[in-house]
Amino acid sequence: MRKPILAGNWKMNGTNPELPRFFESLVQNLPANWSEDVEVIFALPYTLLQQANVLCKSSPITIASQNINQYESGAYTGEISAAMLKDIGVTTTLIGHSERRQYYAETDESVSEKVRVCLEQGIRPIACVGETKDERESGVTEDVVARQVTAILAGVKDLANLVIAYEPVWAIGTGLTASDEQANQVHSFIRDLVAKKFNDEQAQNLRILYGGSAKPANIDGLLKQEHIDGGLVGGASLKADDFSRMINAAVELYGR
């Protein structure tokens, strides 16, 4: 059985003084041995990564970056490399979030290159795909997702350290959410694409997360879907009480 992931994406929010109380409040609301049933990740702004990693050093919580540059070093002002992340103990990162694609001109090609570099450098990428509202209404969701997933898989030889997140752009920060069935259908489509490029076993082992206004009110239904292996959570991950409720829902569902 695939171990679910709940990954909180704080985006451009949070300061260092908030971190100790946040993690203390989060963990105190979780049952003992919760990490046996769910993996918890926080993708934080660069300024918070080092302190968060120190605070969570003895915890099963994983601290991740929200982006990474595909180059090792050089004249790339404002960017951060794999080596820099590893220097502070960060070995997971988001790649190709829709806001990176929309506001910072990231392309399928740049996302593909970043995924390849991450896997070569020992960084686990959580690679994001998803369609806009216009694309869904035009009936081209599968075409868009297939193009994005194909780019991500280009040059990838081993899926063991890869996570994919399906995040319908029209459901991010809008309050709208794909229905459980809609989300599961796209997740199943992604898994089929992976099986065609690799094999059924690797496709079945790949974890695919749902992102798009995931919150305590809908996480239970999403997690019950066959092909949904957790959530990439935005606003709800900024509130320790909300996110702990989501973790508890995963523990209750997946508890062994």
Catalytic residues: 97, 167
Coil/strand/helix, residue 210 = strand
Coil/strand/helix, residue 212 = coil
Phi, then psi, of 119 in degrees rounded to 5: -65, -35
Q: What distance in Å separates the CA atoms of residue 211 and residue 97, rounded to the nearest whole number?
A: 10
Cross-sheet strand order for the sheet of 39-43: 62-64, 39-43, 5-9, 230-233, 207-211, 163-166, 124-129, 92-95
- Terminus-to-terminus CA distance in the chain, angstroms? 11
Which helix (H) or strand (E) segment holds residue 120: the answer is helix 108-121
Of residues 250, 241, 207, the one with CA closest to residue 227: 207
CB-CB neighbours of 62 under 10 Å: 19
CA dihedral sign, ordered 33, 34, 36, 39: negative
**CA neighbours closer than 13 Å in the CB half-sphere of residue 191:** 20
Burial class of residue 256 (count of CB atoms within 10 Å of its CB; 0-12, 13-18, 19+): exposed
Q: What distance in Å separates the CA atoms of residue 129 and residue 219, rounded to the nearest whole number?
A: 19
